[in-house]
């Protein structure tokens, strides 16, 4: 059965670039972003557009560890409320991480995601790293994932699905060979 509208939930810590990612996927600015130190996404926002002939709904969620906007209970309630609004379900989850050290806080985000949705979520999740321009010269996503056992374990939990995006390059179609935006389980 062909899915007529793909629903994708974007999850991650505050400030990793979830809203910018959604704007890049849709090729226009539908989600609010800001270079300030405060979070812009306070409520879930769902937008539907056609991408390469396929209808996609991207659901941008408030960030984990946004201490200014939400108490833990409120954040969980908002994320679950938004994802449950789509009665026919969510088809995929993008777990967004920034190209930086994978710390205890990133691990805590993954723990919270599994608590909110269960371990089952990882069967439908892809890890997506933002700020790909911060990769060292010649570094690949394979190198990045293998720098840390926790990030490698997360990608494995997600069936090896892992991508990287660099809005500065991808928005201008300036992808370079070594900055390939995906790594499958076979080539990690």
Query: What is the DSSP code (8-state) at residue 122?
Result: G
Question: Which tokens is 3 given?
Answer: 């899915």
Residue 11 has pLDDT above 80, yes or no: yes
d(C-alpha 50, C-alpha 28), whole Å: 12
From 51-60, 130-139, 173-182, the region with the lowest mean pLDDT = 173-182
- Within the chain, strands assigned E span 5-12, 45-51, 54-60, 92-98, 125-130, 162-164, 182-183
How confident is the model at residue 172, as a pLDDT? 55
Mean pLDDT across 104-108 = 90
CA 6 to chain centre: 15
Q: What are the tokens at 74?
A: 């409120």
Mean pLDDT, the chain, rounded, equals 80
Q: Which helix (H) or strand (E) holds 19?
A: helix 18-26
Check pLDDT > 70 for residue 159. Answer: yes
Residue 175 has pLDDT above 80, yes or no: no
Structural domains of the chain, count:
1
What is residue 188's predicted lDDT score, i.e. its pLDDT? 43
Provide the CB-side half-sphere exposure for 87 (13 A, CA).
0
User: Is the pLDDT confidence value at 111 over 60?
Assistant: yes
Q: What is the DSSP letter of 101?
A: -
- CATH number for 162: 3.40.50.300
> Could you list the residue range(s) of the whole structural domain that residue 36 is in?
5-187
Question: Which strand (E) or helix (H) includes residue 80?
Answer: helix 72-84
What percentage of the chain has pLDDT greater than the value 90? Answer: 29
**What is the pTM for the complete model shown?**
0.84
């Amino acid at each position: 059965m062909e899915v007529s509208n793909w629903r994708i939930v974007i999850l991650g810590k505050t400030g990793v670039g979830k809203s910018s990612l959604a704007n890049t996927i849709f090729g226009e600015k539908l989600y609010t972003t800001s270079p300030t130190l405060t979070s812009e996404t306070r409520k879930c926002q769902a937008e539907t557009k056609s991408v390469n002939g396929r209808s996609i709904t991207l659901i941008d969620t408030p960030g984990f560890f946004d201490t200014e906007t939400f108490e833990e209970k409120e954040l969980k309630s908002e994320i679950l409320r938004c994802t449950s609004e789509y009665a026919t379900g969510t088809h995929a989850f993008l777990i967004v991480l920034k190209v930086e050290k994978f710390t205890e806080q990133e691990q805590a985000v993954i723990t919270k995601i599994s608590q909110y949705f269960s371990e089952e979520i990882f069967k439908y999740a892809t890890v997506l790293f933002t700020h790909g321009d911060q990769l060292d010269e010649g570094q690949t996503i394979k190198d990045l994932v293998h720098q840390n056992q926790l990030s490698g374990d997360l990608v494995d939990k997600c069936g090896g699905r892992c991508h990287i995006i660099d809005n500065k390059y991808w928005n201008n179609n300036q992808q370079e060979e070594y900055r390939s935006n995906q790594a499958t389980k076979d080539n990690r």
